[in-house]
């Protein structure tokens, strides 16, 4: 029977069959460091933008296979011998993982104080650091979905999602394996069979779920969630049961070919797939299979050619410091990019990766090795709980400190006049005269759009209430959402990337305007910029350079917008109940488009206007057209004298009849 005594699992009867891998445990295997070197080099090369590393992110999958092999077989070895201690296991994991992480997060926080300038940068950093400290960053980054996106350069800690997945695996796998051993004893069956069945079941269910849940466009749960990555850990765990048998050991030509094939598969995935691929899904199978083949080949035949190659001292050394290099490389690359406006530079990013390599060596020497000596020499059976408690307390303290620094910096930078500009002048000047908007009372409106509509929604809702109208969003998503009864509609999208929405919109307009009293206001595309506006403007302020560093040429904007503006103008000309307003001149003079006005930010990022200043400014600029769509009164309005850059285009004026 199995029983616990002083936190240790004891086996009174271990007569059930065991594989050789279980009996031998999971002692250090030389070629694992070589495989780690391949994995970390792939990841760093991918993040640094090195040509040929387009699929380097598969290095994380290789790490998961390695962890699955080491942890599962180590636990099985201890449980089969009756010496497993849950307390000691968690104490060892805490001493292994947390000391380097705390150093990197603290150093990144210190560097951020000199580099980050905008509240949005601090928001991203503070939340990333908080969730990374408590090993929940995979949930946070899933909610943001920025790992493959351009905005990932604004987040110095997105790579910690994989550490969170591993930590969650460490929490679950000992309990699962203990359950397998208990079941084997109670049912008087082979523990090997129970473990094999459990491993196969986890592998199959998790892999199927991974394939089905891979959806990069709508929240890629398969990428970030531990349960959909569990098949990769299970694949590594299965190696210990299968690879050390006499069959493979006696057939070295098979192990030689397996090792070569494994490396070839890994290199092919690094070279051939990229971040546009639907990953993980089926595309994660090749790198996982390659890692399994390399590990199995080395275990069965330590003299195999590939094994000898990756155990070469320089390669193995990279594997030894791989954890530190993985931790350091992305904050270094990301913060350097942020400091230079996010502009790409292969030379700079490679230099940052090289500097991260040096810091990894320092971390290995002065942080990882001392922590390892503590793991090996301390009496974890007596003091393990203290190490766990200390690690837990340090994790919470780091989360509060780093997250708190981010929060304080966020509030402080929000006070910048460019960010906190008042729009009360626009609001006060946008009151619709009763004689014009009396007919708006009781009118019901519909707001249709994407995140670009989100930026003006609060302004439109507020102004609709002021004239007695009401507005709401359709039930469902996008153009095809269920339309409630409405007297008018206000529609805007990121039209530059939404040609399908324009095509679908015409059919929607025809149905909506079947009642000739209904009205539609189409708001055209706003200019898009090369930089996140708030970050760019506050950075040029710090550097003391011209704000037009953040501007773009009007011609480039017009060229990008032309297909959308042409189509929208044609719709407005075709349907008498439709008006189309083009906001281009609100942001651009004859040559240049700017994300700011009179020292105030009109944009939050590269294509979303700011709220409330930018949204109130847009509403004020086109207030007569908003009044028309809400009231149906097309009477001309005399300008209130507010300064305007120039007349913006208005297409499709309906007849001047009441609603």
Q: Please write the tens of the pLDDT for every residue from 74-118.
A: 999 889 888 889 999 999 999 999 999 999 999 999 999 999 999
Pairing assessment for the beta strands 596-597 and 650-651 based on DSSP bridges: unpaired
Query: Cβ atoms within 10 A of the Cβ of 211, count?
Result: 18
Three-state DSSP class for residue 14: coil
- pLDDT for 512: 72
Three-state DSSP class for residue 543: helix
Indicate yes or no: pTM above 0.75. Answer: yes
Region of residue 654 (left: phi > 0; alpha: psi -120 to 50; beta: else)? beta
Identify the bridge partners of residue 472 per DSSP, sorted by sequence position. Answer: 446
The DSSP string of 377-443 is: HS-HHHHHHHHHHHHHHHHHHHHHHHHHHHHHHHHHHTTSTTTS---HHHHHTTPPPHHHHGGGTT-
637-648: pLDDT as tens digits: 444 433 344 344
Three-state DSSP class for residue 580: strand
Give φ, ψ of 28 to 5 degrees.
-60, 135
CA distances from 167 to 46, 68, 136, 650 (A): 24, 12, 9, 57
- What DSSP designation does 84 have? E
Between CA 619 and CA 602 the distance in angstroms is: 12
Query: Cβ atoms within 10 A of the Cβ of 282, count?
Result: 12
Q: Does domain 425-651 have CATH number 3.40.50.1110?
A: yes
Give φ, ψ of 500 to 5 degrees.
-65, -30
What residue segments make up the domains of the chain, in order of their start?
2-412, 425-651
Closest Cα to residue 171, out of 97, 245, 102?
Answer: 97
Structural contact between residues 152 and 146, judged by C-beta atoms closer than 8 angstroms:
yes
Between CA 573 and CA 382 the distance in angstroms is: 82
Structural contact between residues 368 and 99, judged by C-beta atoms closer than 8 angstroms:
yes
- What DSSP designation does 320 have? H
At 638, list the tokens: 């005399």
Identify the bridge partners of residue 447 per DSSP, sorted by sequence position. Answer: 490
Q: Which residues contact 226 (CB under 8 A, 6 or more apart)?
A: 138, 165, 168, 169, 172
Residue ranges in the chain whose pLDDT is less than 70: 1-29, 146-151, 242-250, 475-484, 498-500, 514-516, 635-659
Apex 611 CA angle, 529 and 155, nearest 5: 55
Structural contact between residues 52 and 45, judged by C-beta atoms closer than 8 angstroms:
yes
Between CA 606 and CA 535 the distance in angstroms is: 10
Cα radius of gyration rounded to whole Å, the chain: 30
Region of residue 442 (left: phi > 0; alpha: psi -120 to 50; beta: else)? left
Tally the C-alpha atoms within 13 A of residue 301's C-alpha that lie toward its C-beta: 21
Between CA 496 and CA 525 the distance in angstroms is: 7
Q: 499-506 — which CB contacts under 8 Å span 24+ positions?
A: 499/563, 499/564, 499/567, 502/564, 502/567, 502/568, 502/571, 504/479, 504/480, 505/479, 505/571, 506/571
- pLDDT for 244: 53
At 466, list the tokens: 């002021």
Between CA 221 and CA 11 the distance in angstroms is: 39
Query: Cβ atoms within 10 A of the Cβ of 599, count?
Result: 10
At 364, list the tokens: 């290995």
- pLDDT for 247: 56
Between CA 207 and CA 69 the distance in angstroms is: 17
- pLDDT for 500: 64
Q: Where are the alpha helices (DSSP H) in 25-115?
A: 30-48, 59-81, 86-115
Apex 165 CA angle, 162 and 168, nearest 5: 150
- pLDDT for 541: 92
Q: Which residues contact 88 (CB under 8 A, 6 or more apart)?
A: 7, 380, 381, 384
Please tell me the total number of residues recorded for the chain in this structure: 659
Closest Cα to residue 502, out of 590, 401, 385, 580?
Answer: 580
Pairing assessment for the beta strands 578-581 and 519-523 based on DSSP bridges: parallel
Between CA 234 and CA 543 the distance in angstroms is: 51
- pLDDT for 499: 66
Helix (H) or strand (E) holding 10: strand 8-11
Strand order in the sheet with 84-85: 2-5, 8-11, 84-85
């Amino acid at each position: 029977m199995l029983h616990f005594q002083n936190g240790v699992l004891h086996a009174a009867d271990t007569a059930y069959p065991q594989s050789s891998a279980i009996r031998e445990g999971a002692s250090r295997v030389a070629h694992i460091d070589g495989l780690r070197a391949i994995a970390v080099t792939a990841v760093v090369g991918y993040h640094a933008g090195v040509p040929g590393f387009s699929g380097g992110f598969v290095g994380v999958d290789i790490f998961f296979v390695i962890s699955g092999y080491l942890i599962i077989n180590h636990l099985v070895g201890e449980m089969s011998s009756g010496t497993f201690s849950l307390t000691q296991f968690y104490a060892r994991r805490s001493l292994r993982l947390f000391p380097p992480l705390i150093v990197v997060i603290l150093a990144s926080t210190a560097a951020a104080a000199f580099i980050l300038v905008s509240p949005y940068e601090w928001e991203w950093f503070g939340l990333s650091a908080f969730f990374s400290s408590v090993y929940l960053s995979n949930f946070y980054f899933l909610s943001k979905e920025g790992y493959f996106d351009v905005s990932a350069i604004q987040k110095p800690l997105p790579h910690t999602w994989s550490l969170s997945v591993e930590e969650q695996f460490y929490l679950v796998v000992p309990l699962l394996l203990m359950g397998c051993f208990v079941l084997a004893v109670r049912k008087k069956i082979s523990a090997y069979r129970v473990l094999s069945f459990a491993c196969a079941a986890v592998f199959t269910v998790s892999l199927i779920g991974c394939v089905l849940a891979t959806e990069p466009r709508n929240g890629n749960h398969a990428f970030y969630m531990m349960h959909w990555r569990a098949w990769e850990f299970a694949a590594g765990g299965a190696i210990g049961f299968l690879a050390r048998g006499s069959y493979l050991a006696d057939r070295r030509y098979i192990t030689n070919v397996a090792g070569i094939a494994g490396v070839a598969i890994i290199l092919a995935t690094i070279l051939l797939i990229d971040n546009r691929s639907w990953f993980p899904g089926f595309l994660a199978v090749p790198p996982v299979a390659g890692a399994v083949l390399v590990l199995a080949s080395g275990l069965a035949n330590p003299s195999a050619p590939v094994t000898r190659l990756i155990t070469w001292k320089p390669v193995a050394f990279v594997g030894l410091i791989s954890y530190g290099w993985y931790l350091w490389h992305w904050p270094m690359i990301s913060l350097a990019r942020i400091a230079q406006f996010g502009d790409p530079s292969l030379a700079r990013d490679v230099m940052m990766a090289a500097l991260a390599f040096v810091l990894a060596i320092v971390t290995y020497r002065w942080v990882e090795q001392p922590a390892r000596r503590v793991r090996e020499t301390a009496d974890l059976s007596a003091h393990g709980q203290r190490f766990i408690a200390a690690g837990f307390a340090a994790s919470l303290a780091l989360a509060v400190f780093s997250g708190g620094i981010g929060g304080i910096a966020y509030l402080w930078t929000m006070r910048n006049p460019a960010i906190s500009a008042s729009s009360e002048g626009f609001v006060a000047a946008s009151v619709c005269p009763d004689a014009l908007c009396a007919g708006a009372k009781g009118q019901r409106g519909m707001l249709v759009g994407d995140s670009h509509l989100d930026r003006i929604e609060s302004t439109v809702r507020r102004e609709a209430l002021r004239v007695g109208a009401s507005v709401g969003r359709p039930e469902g998503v996008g153009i095809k959402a269920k339309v409630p009864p409405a007297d008018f509609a206000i529609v805007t999208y990121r039209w530059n990337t939404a040609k399908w929405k324009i095509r679908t919109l015409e059919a929607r307009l025809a149905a909506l305007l079947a009642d000739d009293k209904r009205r539609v206001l189409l708001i055209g595309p706003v200019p898009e910029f090369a930089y996140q506006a708030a970050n760019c403007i506050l950075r040029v302020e710090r550097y003391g350079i011209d704000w037009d560093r953040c501007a773009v040429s009007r011609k480039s904007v017009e060229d990008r917008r032309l297909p959308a503006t042409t189509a929208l103008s044609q719709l407005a000309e075709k349907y008498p109940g439709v008006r189309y307003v083009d906001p281009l001149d609100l942001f651009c003079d004859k040559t240049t488009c700017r994300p700011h006005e009179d020292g105030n930010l009109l944009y939050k990022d590269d294509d979303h206007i700011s709220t409330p200043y930018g949204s109130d400014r847009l509403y004020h600029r086109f207030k007569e057209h908003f009044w028309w769509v809400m009231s149906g009164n097309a009477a001309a309005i005399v300008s209130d004298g507010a300064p305007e850059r120039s007349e913006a285009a208005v297409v499709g004026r309906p007849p001047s009849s009441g609603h």
